[in-house]
Amino acid sequence: MTNSFAHVLGKGGFGTVYKGKLPDGNHDVAVKILLESKGNGEEFINELASMSRTSHVNIVSLLGFCYEGNKRAIIYEFMPNGSLDKFISENMSAKLEWKKLYDIALGVSRGLEYLHNRCISRIVHFDIKPQNILMDKDLCPKISDFGLAKLCKNKDSIISMLDARGTAGYIAPEVFSKNFGGVSHKSDVYSYGMVVLEMIGATNIENVEHSGSNNSSMYFPDRIYKDLDRGEIMRIFGGQTTEDEEKIAKKMVLVGLWCIQTNPSHRPAMMKVIEMLEGSLEALEVPPKPLLFLPATVAETTEDSNETSSFANSSQFERGTLQATEDTLRFSNKEVQIPITGSATE
């Protein structure tokens, strides 16, 4: 299928993805070869179990798999435009029109709502990030890479977890510390909010000049709220925008901020996110500031920022792999200062 693995599409924490063709020679596919040394095959089973339960325009389709001894491969539909991260720049609107950005955000929200509410079993993805959102020939977004996903009963609200999982910069606070609340489908909502803010460039520290401040380490939620208070939110995006584009941008900012609330119960469910995106801008209120401000550069300060991390058990937190203290988040021996405006349990 892959012509002896001639065309590499990408590499991740669990293996390499190659371009291939089905035996009929007419259909392009993506073939993920999982690393032999990766655990006991949990990621492989997770991905098959999750993808085999899905059928949605915003979820990548599973076409087949191979499981022969320790050789494991997953075959799914080929996405000619690659992943969303390839379209993200300092000012994403320079590469994609605002309406297209909105359509992508809406498509991802519909895919997540389907996973959370309309599958046979609720599926929590746990690794929503631009690298795991693939784009078809029409730039329709499709959620992929279910290696860290968890299947749970539809009525389960809190998920029991023995390990923290996800990618630096997109992990919800409760995933790495139970002090912030219980892990649930709302953890995907947080990751989605981070992706939306990254899509529109709101997380880019270099993108905005701050009058009266030379503090380049200002955290992006704080910056956004200050610009909202001043009525200068469009400074984030730079350039000229039409009135309609400004409404789209503001709506996406507000939705993103609601999704990254520190307390999981304060975040909207994905069905509500869709309603917010499809509704009027005037109906959206400005959310309260999150208690925990994760800086925009978390992913950039981690050497393997595009790699997915899964920690074996909670004792690793105590050993320093991932520690939340009063003012520091330590992730894989990388330290990032985090101002906390209130108690984590408030």
Where exactly are the structural domains of the chain? Answer: 8-77, 84-337
Contact 143, 111 (CB under 8 A): yes
In eight-state DSSP terms, residue 291 is S
Query: Rounded to the nearest 5 degrees, what angle is found at the Cα of 128, between the Cα atoms of 288 and 84?
Result: 105
Amino acid at 139: L
Count CB neighbours of 181 within 10 A: 22
**Residue 154: per-residue pLDDT:** 59
Which position among 103, 127, 145, 227 bears the catalytic label? 127
Assigned CATH topology for domain 8-77: Phosphorylase Kinase; domain 1 (3.30.200)
**Residue 332: per-residue pLDDT:** 35
**Residue positions counted in the chain:** 346
Contact 344, 180 (CB under 8 A): yes
What CATH number belongs to 84-337?
Answer: 1.10.510.10
Closest-CA residue to 30 (of 43, 45, 15, 41)? 15
pTM of the model: 0.79
Where the chain has pLDDT below 50, the residues are 90-93, 205-217, 293-306, 310-346
Instruction: Please say if 127 is a catalytic residue.
Output: yes
**Residue 278: per-residue pLDDT:** 96
32 is in an annotated binding site: yes
